[in-house]
């Protein structure tokens, strides 16, 4: 099965970004992709952090979700909608939400970003918590090609989230990493998540300089269960394509049975080694 990560340099304008996403999806399908993942914030990299509020949608309605549904149905593929803003009860805040659609265009999973990014380096202060509500649930989708664990960007730093997913065949990590954090940590964290969970990791990223002047790290990639990089795109928009091979997955887990050798689990407390 061929799977693809789309890399974008999203603009402030929703219509422009949707057109780019559609074009890249079509390109990935032409190259044989059966699952396509879009990056975090694929719908907008705004000039201010409140811009996202103007394009937020109700779940199940709106042009963003219509496009994702239509493309999945048109090409009979799986589409992972990176992240988009979904309205909450607070008009000043949204959820940063990843949606997964099956080849019939049906939404089969919703994941709200659990860990909200905050970063300051003396010249800027980024804080998603000012305009977002954090998710509370671990989400895994059952598909014909195995279990798919859903996460978004900053989640990548929290290994316990991925352990809580159980055994998965594929982890999705749509992202918009900053250049400083990406340069230092992106590759090592992605490889670690693949190695410790013995699964494929598909990371679709923003990669370039945006209208606001913000720079994102890019390096969208597919990593296999042994931690090897299958395909990568450093910067600029484009498609990262690779094979998701069930025999490779079985081989890695057969030769190194690390998942079966785990001694701790999510039901253990952090004090005294006692079970709940």
Q: Phi/psi of residue 151, each to 5°?
A: -155, 170
Does residue 13 sit in helix, strand or coil? coil
Q: Read out DSSP for 107-166?
A: EEEEEE-SS--EEE-SS-EEEGGGTB-------EEEETTEEEEE--GGGGG-HHHHHTT-
In a domain, 162, yes or no: yes
Kindly report, residue by residue over 165-208, the tens digit of the pLDDT: 999 999 999 999 999 999 999 999 999 999 999 999 999 999 99
In a domain, 269, yes or no: no
Does residue 8 sit in helix, strand or coil? strand
Pairwise CA distance, residues 18 & 42, whole Å: 8
Q: Phi/psi of residue 169, each to 5°?
A: -90, -30
Q: Give the pairing type, strands 35-37 and 78-80.
A: parallel
In a domain, 192, yes or no: yes
Cβ-proximal residues to 260 (8 Å cutoff; 6+ apart), any chain: none
Beta bridge partners of 85: 96
In a domain, 83, yes or no: yes
Among residues 199, 135, 131, the alpha carbon closest in space to that of 167 is found at 199
The catalytic residues are 40, 113, 153
Kindly report, residue by residue over 54-102, the tens digit of the pLDDT: 999 999 999 999 999 999 999 999 999 999 999 999 999 999 999 999 9
Q: Is residue 266 scored above 60 in pLDDT?
A: no
In a domain, 245, yes or no: yes
In a domain, 276, yes or no: no
In a domain, 273, yes or no: no
In a domain, 272, yes or no: no
Pairwise CA distance, residues 13 & 1, whole Å: 33
Pairwise CA distance, residues 258 & 198, whole Å: 8
Kindly report, residue by residue over 38-54, the tens digit of the pLDDT: 999 999 999 999 999 99
Query: Could you give the number of structural domains in the chain?
Result: 1
Q: Residue 17 belongs to what domain range?
A: 2-261
CATH number of 123's domain: 3.60.110.10
CA 86 to chain centre: 16
């Amino acid at each position: 099965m061929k799977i693809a990560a789309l890399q974008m340099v999203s603009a402030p304008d929703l219509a422009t970004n949707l057109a780019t996403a559609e074009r890249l999806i079509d390109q990935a399908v032409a190259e044989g992709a059966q699952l396509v993942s879009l990056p975090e914030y694929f719908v907008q990299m705004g000039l201010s952090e409140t811009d996202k509020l103007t394009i937020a949608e109700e779940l199940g309605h709106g042009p963003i979700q219509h496009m994702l549904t239509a493309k999945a149905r048109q090409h009979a593929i799986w589409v992972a909608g990176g992240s988009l803003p979904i309205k909450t009860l607070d008009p000043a805040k949204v959820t940063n939400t990843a949606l997964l659609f099956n080849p019939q265009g049906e939404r089969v999973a919703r994941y709200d970003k659990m860990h909200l990014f905050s970063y300051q380096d003396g010249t800027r202060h980024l804080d998603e918590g000012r305009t977002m509500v954090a998710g509370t649930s671990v989400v895994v989708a059952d598909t014909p090609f195995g279990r798919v664990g859903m996460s978004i960007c900053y989640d990548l730093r929290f290994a316990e989230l991925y352990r809580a997913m159980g055994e998965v065949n594929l982890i999705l990590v749509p992202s918009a990493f900053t250049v400083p954090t990406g340069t230092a940590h992106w590759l090592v964290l992605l490889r670690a998540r693949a190695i410790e969970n013995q699964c494929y990791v598909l990371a679709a990223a923003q990669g370039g300089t945006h209208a606001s002047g913000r720079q994102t790290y890019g390096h969208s990639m597919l990593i296999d269960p042994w931690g090897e990089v299958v395909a990568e795109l450093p910067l600029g928009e484009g498609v990262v394509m690779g094979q998701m091979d069930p025999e490779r997955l079985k081989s890695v887990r057969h030769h190194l049975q690390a998942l079966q050798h785990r001694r701790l689990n999510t039901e253990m407390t952090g004090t005294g080694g006692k079970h709940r």
